Structure 1
């Protein structure tokens, strides 16, 4: 049997309409989003399908959306192929997906963690920026243009 890895993306992989073509064919996609929506207390599927992109790009919405999309695709892979990867890895936020898919943490706990992580990132950067404070803090930069 061939060996393979599953690599999960970080923040920035989100877009309005993501996974819409897969959800039309596979129930597991919307089921995964439905579960995440229950945990989050808002309709994550609707946000990812209808936007607006400005809201979806806010860190505390983006992170649960990317995690859920990645877990949904992984669940679909298992459903269709029934083959687990030999290794799972993730970049930044994708590390949480890798931990879920490795059964290190539950999807439920990961959803709560990334929502909180996104809220903290937003709060800290807003505070530092608003108060003109120097220091180290985290940003997620989307759509950076070259000069």
Structure 2
């Protein structure tokens, strides 16, 4: 049997109506979104299906949407193929999806974490506006040395 990896995306892959055809066709997709909506306290599927895009693009809505979509597709894959990937990996937000798919954290915890993460990121970018700094900023730290 061939080996394969499941690779999960980060933020920025969202769009209105994503996986609509799968939502209509597969119960596992609908159940995953129903669970996420119960945790979040709002209808996540309605936001993805109808938008508005401006709201979906707000980080604390985007992150649960991408996580839930990725988990739903992964669950459908398992249901249809009954084959586990040899490795799961994710980029940025996708790391949380990979952790759920590896049974490191629960779906419930992941939804709560990424919503909180999204709120922190949103607040941070909003606070930058207070200093006349506009937009999102990220820096990478490479080779950080331990304090002795």
- Per the alignment, residue 59 of structure 2 pairs with 59
- Tell me how many residue pairs correspond in the alignment: 138
Q: Answer with 1 or 2: which has the greater Rg.
A: 2
Alignment of 1:7-18 (within 5 A): 7-18=7-18
- Per the alignment, residue 94 of structure 2 pairs with 94
Contact 1:89/1:98 (CA < 8 Å) preserved in 2?
yes
- Per the alignment, residue 143 of structure 2 pairs with none
**TM-score after normalising by structure 2:** 0.89
Residue 88 of structure 2 aligns to a residue whose secondary structure is strand
Which whole-Å deviations, capped at 9, do the CAs of 1:108-129 have from their partners, x for residues lacking one?
A: 0000000000000000111122
Residue 7 of structure 1 aligns to a residue whose secondary structure is strand
For residues 48 and 8 of structure 2, the distance between their equivalents in structure 1, rounded to whole angstroms, comes to: 18
Aligned alpha-carbon RMSD (Å): 1.7
Contact 1:23/1:29 (CA < 8 Å) preserved in 2?
yes
For residues 138 and 52 of structure 2, the distance between their equivalents in structure 1, rounded to whole angstroms, comes to: 24
Listed as ranges, the gaps of 5+ residues in structure 1 are 140-147
Which whole-Å deviations, capped at 9, do the CAs of 1:65-84 have from their partners, x for residues lacking one?
A: 00000000000000000000
**TM-score after normalising by structure 1:** 0.90
- Per the alignment, residue 145 of structure 1 pairs with none
Residue 89 of structure 1 aligns to a residue whose secondary structure is strand
